[in-house]
Structure 1
């Protein structure tokens, strides 16, 4: 198939050559990717063609390496050839963030048989379009494929694994209560149930210690109602003036079910009511 561009440039899609209509015996040969690129733009005349489609139709489907560098080189060489053949208008337009298109202002005609050209027409075309000498045009050669750096992919995989592990640890801590204070039932006095609040990791069942706590709590006045209990809080956060010991706080707690909360106060405060 042959195409006439702007009335005086002939593009032979079969042989992959560009020439002036009056000098079709001396065409400028282009590379196969360049030929396929120009044909693709002509077929989609006036419509943008995305880079992805160009890569597939011009390089990938033919087992060749596609890249932005290859595409930009071919477009640049096509523009230079068409300008050399006398087309001053912008033929191939860059469509930002999409790809390229053949300008709607460029006339494209299918040519089955070349019409005869008069001598006068030849002189006019020579005088207006043909430079003194057509410069040599280098074919569009795809550069070697750039080696991708595999370590970047492995680094991304490593980061993803670290994040997954951190997420799993965080979820384990959240759902198992690791490091949070927990209340454990240690026994009951004559009047109240007694619970101890301490870290799940620090809590140890010590029979003698628990019995002493229960005995001490039993000396405190006041009975517990159904929604009350004694809470023993063991804390190392407040440092006493004697090193190496911790403190215990004895509280009486009342459950307010209608408000879904508990109110705790010191056992000695009970004497003030």
Structure 2
């Protein structure tokens, strides 16, 4: 069962497959995973400002990667371009200067549960979809294509069992887990990272260790169980050269083979704009 988010009745978003679908034109676009994760977090927090720290932690930090705020802005820009290609309102994702991003509270977002034929039994073989209007503190539930029932008599004590059955237990558990994970992630970020909007966001890299300064290029690594040779051999194996005064920030968490390399024109700790490019390697 996939959870589909229907936005303003013009766009469908599937966070499981990271896809956007324009209802009117029937066009589909597959988002980059970080952009999809950012969009999903904004949807789940509709009407609330989602800070840069929350987005960075949700899209990258939970996967053991440290990136600059510039990478976040690049992914938000890619997300907006994808929405524009599908002719969606360009103001759907609002930028709140020096704070973060948000989706306006008045935006209509419906949760649509799509049930495959293999998941239905003889009692639910008809094509049914549950549409749940997302609010900050409650949900309103309505069948997808069922006409409104006639008012019940005053002495009718029949309970709305069908309405209660729409609430999918797994969906509620999933939302609770996401909420708990978001709270924990935010606490971790607040305790360990001081995101000053007037700087270039250098806090995540202040603890990195310099392992090479050859060819007028500085290479830093995160504190981990790996030896310095792992990072230097990684650059050689992937034919990555560093010169002309650039600065590399490499991140890997043993025993994972996933490694990120952030190449910057200037050190992130400097007062200048760093002009960084982030690359990720799964192996």
TM-score normalised to structure 1 length: 0.41
Structure 1 or 2, whichever has the larger Rg, is 1
Which structure dedicates a bigger proportion of its chain to helix? 1
